Amino acid sequence: MRKLWPLRPPTAPGLAESAAYLAREAGPRPAVTRALGELLAQQAADRGALSAEGFDALLRAGRAALDGGRPGLALELADAALAGRRKSRAGWRLRAGALDALGRHTSALEAYERHRALTPNGDPARTYPETAEKHRLLTEAAELAPGTALAGAVRAERAPDEVRAAFAAEVTDRLRAQGAASAEVRRLARLYAAYALLLDHGRMPDAALTGTAPLSVGDLRGRLAGSSVCLVAQGGPTPPDDYDTVLRCGSFRADERADGHVTTVAAGDKCLDRDVTYRIVLGEDHAAWREALRRTVPGAQRYLGDETLRRPLTDPDLLGGQPSAAPAVAMAALLDFLDVTTHVDLYGSDRLTAAERDRLKKTRTVLR
């Protein structure tokens, strides 16, 4: 098996890294300083050997460094810990988190796999899906833009801020050169939006609902690909049974078919206890949206929309200059943008305002 990184000498692990950090930082964070101080004191007590207490101090210092925004130091401390104990689950998890924060997603996934192999039942770390999603998004984007600064930044696994800047510049250049009507440009813009949201907010907050998995825009796109979809506005008529997926927007009766439910923060608890496969909560305010997710009922949905589906429709042209749209309008425009369903029909268009119906004229949705 090939080595993932050069092994460090087992003597005084973390000592050089800690000293170098304290020497170069003009104003180190107190939590990091305290953790490193404890580590150095323990190293002095151990006299170069790695005791159980010294190993724990090493991991605490690494976690403090990662939480304090010093992933480079966290990686050095993780490597020092693993040089002494190669089968440490916590060590591999720390290394994976540090590599992910540095933008080195390929190596981070390798470290997560090592952690998973050492974990009972093979359960992955909580942040594993987020790292895998970022890696997938960047790989797909680089394939769309070969030979560009973006592709070079992805290939070199540069820091996230550098990759994001190159990504944004590439999307901007493509929009100027090809326009928003280009399918390739729209796909690149979708990838950038998903990547930026992952950097800013993570995959999904409060994702500890029993029996529920996060649902991103990309996940929704894949699950609806090739399907016929019916959107039902609140109070709309009952559609026929020949649709693959029925998405109910707003409230609906318990006896009505609903494969998915699209609601808003303002709707409160309405219908959140009804069993559906997909549940998407729309909301402008991030804090209010997080609180709305907590009101969802564990087990009442298989997939719950994450940050990428909180406010999926932001195009001013589609919104008619308005900051938000009715759930049926937002989902119709989103599905039209994703362009993977065989057809999308909307029932209950008479429940929408004239302005909202005008917005939908720009989509391929059939109004009924």
pLDDT of residue 202: 65
This prediction has a pTM of 0.47
pLDDT of residue 311: 79
What is the chain's percent helix, strand, coil content, to nearest 5? 55, 10, 35
Q: What angle do CA 59, 159, 129 make, to 5 degrees?
A: 65
Q: Tell me, what DSSP letter sits at residue 265?
A: G
pLDDT of residue 210: 52
Tokens of 118: 């050492």
| CB-count burial class (<10 Å; 0-12, 13-18, 19+) for 52 | exposed
pLDDT of residue 149: 94
How far is 170 from 196, CA to CA, in rounded Å? 14
Closest by CA to 103, choosing from 173, 181, 159, is: 159
**Cβ atoms < 10 Å from Cβ of 4:** 15
What are the residue ranges in the chain where pLDDT is below 50?
1-15, 23, 26, 28, 205-209, 315-323
Amino acid at 349: S
Tokens of 37: 């101080």
pLDDT of residue 1: 41
The pair phi, psi for residue 53, each rounded to 5°, is -65, -40
What does the buried/exposed string (b/e) look like for 107-118 if buried means 16 or more CB atoms within 10 Å of the residue's CB? bbbbbbebbbeb
**Cβ atoms < 10 Å from Cβ of 8:** 17
**Is the CB of residue 329 less than 8 Å from the CB of residue 359?**
yes
- Percent of all residues in the chain with a pLDDT value above 90, rounded to a whole number: 15
| CB-count burial class (<10 Å; 0-12, 13-18, 19+) for 202 | middle
Residue 281 bridge partners (DSSP): 263
Task: Kindly tell me the sign of the dihedral angle through the C-alpha atoms of 330, 140, 304, 346.
Answer: positive
